[in-house]
A and B are shown apart, each in its own frame.
Chain A
Amino acid sequence: MAESKRADVIGLPLDRIDGRLKVTGRATYAFEYATQGSVAYGVIVSAAIGKGRILRIDTRDAQHAPRVLLVLTKDNAPPQTPWGPVDLPDRFARAEPALDTDEVLYFGFPVAFVVAETFEQATAAAAMVRIQYDPMPGDYDLHAAGPSAENPGRIDGNGPADSAVGDFESAFASAPVQIDAHYTTPHQHQAPMEPHATMAAWEGEMLTVHTSAQLTTSPQEGLARTFNTPKENVRIITRYVGGGFGSKLPYYVDATLAAIGARTLGRPVKVAMTRPQVFYTTTHRTASEQHVRLGADRDGRLTAYGQEALVHCARFDLFTEPVCDAARRLYAAPNRLTRHRRAKLDLPRSDSMRAPGEAIGLLGLECAMDELAEALDLDPVELRLRNDTSSDPEQDRPFASRHLAEALREGAARFGWNKRVAKPASVRDRRWLVGLGVASAIRGDILQSATARARLENDGKITIELAMTDIGTGSYTILTQIAADTMELPVDRVTVRLGDTRFPPTAGSGGSFGAATSGSAVLAACRKLKAGLASGMTESLGSVTPADLDEAYSHAGFGAHFAEVCVDRDTGEVRVRRMLGVFAAGRILNAKTARSQMIGGMTWGIGSALLEENHVDSRFGSFINQDLANYHVAVNADVGAMEVVFLDEADPHGGPLGSKGVGELGICGAGAAIMNAIHNATGARIRDFPATPDKLLATLETLDP
């Protein structure tokens, strides 16, 4: 590997640079920065009601508990900038004050903070804080709030809430074949392994924050805003992150309170959220109700194509999950309609979770396509092929590259799709009912802003620095490859340093733009340095901006998911035997890490189809699942044989690297392929995700011998 020469390095399945550090426990995470002896531990106290006002907080016992250093409530918290502004273009840089109100905005809302010499002492004292509330009725139920939902105007990603082409209603009414179906998806949680955690320390006016975050520049700006200090005074360090999946795009009160505690006590303070707090104090993915209407002619060409979604956002926020974004670009149809409505609930904030929009929008849309295929008596792969398009159907511009049809065909051939028996419940294997399903994948591709520094060291090695993060995806590794490739050096001569706002700013990791964005900045910096070496240059900066993606084209990654499931004919347990994902995602920067991302995404597809779900008990306004024993993410035993195929895709109109995002494409459509396979196996149409055994029993009763 070390001998690899130019043009060989990008794309190689290089092992993770940080792999060894991680498996040997030497990668230091935010909470592990030990300045043993001087550090104090903070614990957040969470509100026990869903909505209301704090009448009184009695902290006397807590204050007198052993080795307690500080008890903060709204009565003695220092002044901070109020939350927001709500419509700040970078919502992850909003002020995030803590304990600045006597209002309780949601169950689990932070209401007090206790710092002690040890974590255990702080935890014990935190339980002694007595709070009297004046509870108020709140709205917690998405369905009930539906009628009062508003038109949000814009959705996440800044697209319009509604879109219309042609005359959907009349086209649908007159379509010879119609599907009119309602789907629901539940509240979901990102559930990263590493909880949200921070260690903060002050030196004079300088605040250093070790935190577990996907972004660096935004929390730097946000904390500076919160404390009304220049952003140069705030340094964010986040070298390793144990998963984020969108939940670490925002920063939270663990950072704010650690900073306040550290300032007040004049010593470093660490704060980690408890697992229940990770569930209710951070963001989650909204539940959704989706109404999909498809009209087609007898040949299976869509004439009317509509998806409408109802989502929630916290009463004080503006986020709207772009559920119908995928539909806007996935298939051709002359008459189209999408619509987003948003209900404000007294729940914690909803925000991004892996592939916001597509991940759940495709569950409804791609299951409806399966229903349409069945109504037409047409093969589901063929139906999708018939509605393919080379130009963006609502944007009037071509796709920079789109290989959906190739992915579907390649996948069908590899998967043995021709063996699928169209009639449901036809294939049995001992106690199992077996079925196959397919779904398309699409995920919008964007480029953000980033700058990278490349430096030639005295020993001839290259150091790359940028305020990018590696949230477990492989950023360290691919950036090393890009630098080595561009500088024509072996990879072991390149050191990539990330996760520090002392380095040039980047947009961080999110929305699958991380690799392309930061990679392009590294590419630019290295190219510049290489060109300048002859004239004695030793350091260079390279940048990329969203404008580097050609606006004359629509940009997205595509793919096709195939799933084989078996359903226990007695109990309704569903097991995924195998999945195949075929993806066209531009240039692949590292075959191994890209594959891992896809497998991860497809595994999340299993979660969304079969497992993941939280309930809100509307009497209390709180999530019921607050731990990983009850909130089920897929475990190894749930994951059957996984195959990932990348099509060779050059994207001449793409960004500087020609790569597309891979972190989210793998989940898009994966759950729908599984649900469609369940239908093929049993004949059941479950439109209420996930497909837990209870929902299959009625159908199984009819299939009993």
Chain B
Amino acid sequence: MKPFRYERANGVAAACAAAAAPGARFIAGGTNLIDLMKLQIETPELLVDIGLLPLADIIESTAEGGLRIGAGVTNSGLAADMRVRRLYPLLSQAILAGASTQLRNKATTGGNLLQRTRCPYFYDTTKPCNKRAPGSGCAALHGINRMNAVMGVSDDCIAAHPSDMAVAMTALDARLETVAPDGAIRAIPIDALYRAPGNTPHIETVLAPGELIRSVLLPPPPQGRQVYRKVRDRASFAFALVSVAVVAEREGDRVRAARVAFGSLSYKPWRSAEAEASLEGASATRTSFDAAGIAALKNARGYGHNDFKIPLARRTLRATLADAVGV
């Protein structure tokens, strides 16, 4: 760890202003950032603690019939909230599938969205990694890339986003409300938060320096059953090999509409318009669920160790849809 300065922000405006400086970073639960600092993967000069900002206790209903979630709400608190459990069980399931109780008690909504990849080469500062050290190369591309992405990435970086919570939020069409250092407030659809790696994999989101996620807005709950399914090597406390968030509505023996998002396949939670289109009005059978998976993964590309993610994602989607619509 490198020496750094630490400040407790006592207002949103002050926090944003402080964090806009080069080398400054917000810190929320710290469960990701501090680990990265210990390994000198992140070396901020200033930490702006947003723990005292009024972002933590807010889970409130919105006029449109959805929920507003403060960025400081803990993962445990959000998963346990009765409105979330009743109206957005997908979100609750996804959060509870992640990390451990201790971590979820500390981790926050904003921090979870912005947690960084678990690519093993990103974590080992002796290895080339374009995300950590731009221009140094991507060790994962021809390396042990079992946990890496198969969709939407580039040869400069094949890192996967590891969040579970964000996958559910993506299926739920969440929007983020941010505050910029100049006080400007904007709403960003979660799908637009993450930037494709291209040849700048170190730039991961569209957020500007000092731009704070204030809250996450969930629109009214969609029709249909919500199911989150996480596949992992061990039964708990492991990042997903593949995860699937599904919201599916059945009408007779057909699927009326479905939403599909995958986790751990890409640099962001991967919402699949192709799968959704293929499911709309399709027969509620394993065959059409398989077809949806094939459509979703048409452009997927394995890098060796992670080839298995493609059939695994298809199979997991099929099972999750079957579960959701009761086949």
Contact = CB atoms under 8 A, between A and B. Distances in A.
A571 interface: yes
B282 interface: no
Interface in A628-642: 629-630, 632, 634-638
A57 interface: no
A49 B127 CA distance: 9
Contacts of B142: 619
Interface residues of A, number: 42
Interface string B188-232: 000000000000000000000000000000000000000000011
Contacts of A181: none
A191 B120 CA distance: 18
A700 B231 CA distance: 15
Contacts of A638: 234-236
A8 interface: no
A572 B233 CA distance: 10
A627 B32 CA distance: 14
A572 B143 contact: no
Interface in B275-318: 286, 308, 311-312, 315-316, 318
A617 B144 CA distance: 7
Given A629-B118, A630-B120, A635-B236, A48 B1 contact: no
Contacts of A368: none
Given A570-B319, A620-B127, A700-B315, A694 B308 contact: yes
A617 B312 contact: no
A692 B118 CA distance: 19
A632 B234 contact: yes
Contact of B3 (A66, A431, A619, A625): A66
B316 A626 contact: no
A701 B311 contact: yes
Contacts of A409: none
Given A697-B312, A700-B315, A573 B126 contact: no
B234 A611 contact: yes
B127 A635 contact: no
B139 A617 contact: yes
Contact of A610 (B118, B139, B234, B286): B234
B14 interface: no
A701 B315 CA distance: 9
B315 A624 contact: no
A341 interface: no
Interface in A617-665: 617, 619-620, 622, 624-627, 629-630, 632, 634-638
A636 B312 contact: no
A637 B235 contact: yes
B233 A693 contact: yes
A638 B237 CA distance: 10
Given A575-B235, A634-B234, A638-B234, A627 B123 contact: yes
A637 B3 contact: no
Contact of A697 (B2, B144, B315, B319): B315
Contacts of B127: 620, 622
B12 to A, nearest CB: 30
A107 B147 CA distance: 23
A244 B238 CA distance: 24
Contacts of B231: 571, 573, 693
A124 B123 contact: no
Nearest to A47: B126
A638 B232 CA distance: 11
Nearest to B307: A694
Contacts of B121: 624
B182 interface: no
B40 interface: yes
B7 interface: no
Interface in A660-705: 692-694, 697, 700-701, 705
Contacts of A629: 118, 238-239
A570 B318 contact: yes
B80 to A, nearest CB: 19
B233 A617 contact: no
A43 to B, nearest CB: 11
Nearest to B120: A624
Contacts of A276: 39, 124
Contact of B126 (A48, A66, A635, A701): A48
Top 9 nearest A-B pairs (CB, nearest first) are A694-B308, A637-B236, A637-B235, A570-B319, A48-B126, A571-B231, A615-B144, A638-B235, A624-B144
Given A124-B1, A635-B236, 6 more contacts: A123-B1, A575-B235, A629-B238, A693-B231, A694-B241, A697-B308
19 contacts: A123-B1, A127-B40, A571-B231, A571-B312, A571-B319, A573-B231, A573-B232, A619-B139, A619-B142, A622-B126, A624-B124, A629-B118, A637-B236, A638-B236, A693-B233, A694-B308, A697-B308, A697-B315, A701-B311
